[in-house]
Structure 1
Amino acid sequence: MPAIRIIRRSPLAPREAWRRLTDWERHGELVPLTRTIIETVPPTHVGTRFTARTGVAGITFDDPMEVTLWRPPGDTSAGLVRLVKHGRAVRGWAEIEVRPAPGGSEAEWREELSLRGLPRFCDPLTAAAARFLFGRAMARLLRP
């Protein structure tokens, strides 16, 4: 199960960075060939469920997730959200942490994921692809 870690700094205040990074529908707009389907009533809370559906021309796979920890940032404290992946094709977890930092905020994305049927020797390639896709999405979400 490959692990990834991405850190991005932003001039945005922690609460605004948090709002953007936890806008689940927007994630789907930024990951190629993906859309996000929210399955619970907003706002996000422990128990919120959503699915990232990725695919083209009828060939798709779902990445259903559930929020298991929801702690938004305060003026001087970090925020942390934890997502658990419950899919057949994608398993694992992800965490997004937003901390106050000089001049704005610092966001960290940590994730461990497993793709069903993919041998372990593919883990480095899977991790590199995830770092690229999620890092690009973070940069766009945090753009002032």
Structure 2
Amino acid sequence: MPGFRIIRRTLLPPAEAWLRLTDWERHGALVPLTRTVVETAPPTGVGTRFTARTGVRGITFDDPMEVTLWRPPEAGAAGLVRLEKRGRIVTGRAEIEVRPLPAGGTEVHWYESLRIRGLPRLLDPTVDAAGRLIFSRALTAILRP
């Protein structure tokens, strides 16, 4: 399965970056034509489920996800959240790691592995390029001070 990694640095402390990155509704607000609905009660942790619905009018698709690993950053240690994509159309996983920097601030590593059912593997590089563009913009906006 193809995948891509995006790395960003921010002056935000790890705890603040983590809170922003795990605000699932915020992700939907920053991805074009997408709305995210959290289906489980707070707080977020392993087992939290949410769906990103993308589309216009009647032409939409759902990207249901579940948190399968939840390790917030603490006391100088990195944090990591893993999401499994459980949709009929979009499958794969995402991992977001929040690493404290020695001089302050945070380095974020976002890894995304997507597969769109029905698309030939020949188009995987195109899917990766589109995903990298969309998620890069969203990540930059999420981390903006």
Q: Same fold (TM over 0.5)?
A: yes
* Displacement after TM superposition at 1:37 (Å): 0.7
Unaligned runs of 5+ in 1: none
Find the aligned partners of 1:29 and 1:128 in 2 and give their Cα distance: 21
Q: TM-score scaled by structure 2?
A: 0.97
Does the 8 A contact of 1:14 with 1:75 survive in 2?
Answer: no
**Which string of whole-angstrom CA distances, capped at 9 and with x for unpartnered residues, describes residues 23-82 of structure 1?**
000000000000001000011010000000001011100000000000000130000000
Find the aligned partners of 2:75 and 2:4 in 1 and give their Cα distance: 27
Fraction of identical pairs, as percent: 69
Alignment of 1:61-80 (within 5 A): 61-80=61-80
Q: Which amino acid in the other structure matches residue 42 of structure 1?
A: P
The count of aligned residue pairs is 144
Q: Which amino acid in the other structure matches residue 59 of structure 2?
A: I
Find the aligned partners of 2:129 and 2:75 in 1 and give their Cα distance: 33
* Displacement after TM superposition at 1:140 (Å): 0.3
Does the 8 A contact of 1:30 with 1:137 survive in 2?
Answer: yes
Q: Which amino acid in the other structure matches residue 12 of structure 2?
A: L
1:12 maps to: 12
SS of the equivalent of 2:45 reads: coil
Q: Which amino acid in the other structure matches residue 78 of structure 2?
A: A
SS of the equivalent of 2:27 reads: helix
Structure 1 stretches of 4+ moved >4 Å:
none
Find the aligned partners of 2:47 and 2:82 in 1 and give their Cα distance: 11
Does the 8 A contact of 1:80 with 1:95 survive in 2?
Answer: yes
* Displacement after TM superposition at 1:128 (Å): 0.6
SS of the equivalent of 1:12 reads: coil
2:54 maps to: 54
CA RMSD of aligned residues (A): 0.7
1:123 maps to: 124
SS of the equivalent of 2:118 reads: coil
Find the aligned partners of 1:132 and 1:103 in 2 and give their Cα distance: 27
2:30 maps to: 30
Q: Which amino acid in the other structure matches residue 5 of structure 1?
A: R
Alignment of 1:84-123 (within 5 A): 84-101=84-101, 102-123=103-124
Q: TM-score scaled by structure 1?
A: 0.98
Q: Which amino acid in the other structure matches residue 120 of structure 1?
A: R
Find the aligned partners of 2:38 and 2:31 in 1 and give their Cα distance: 16
SS of the equivalent of 2:4 reads: strand
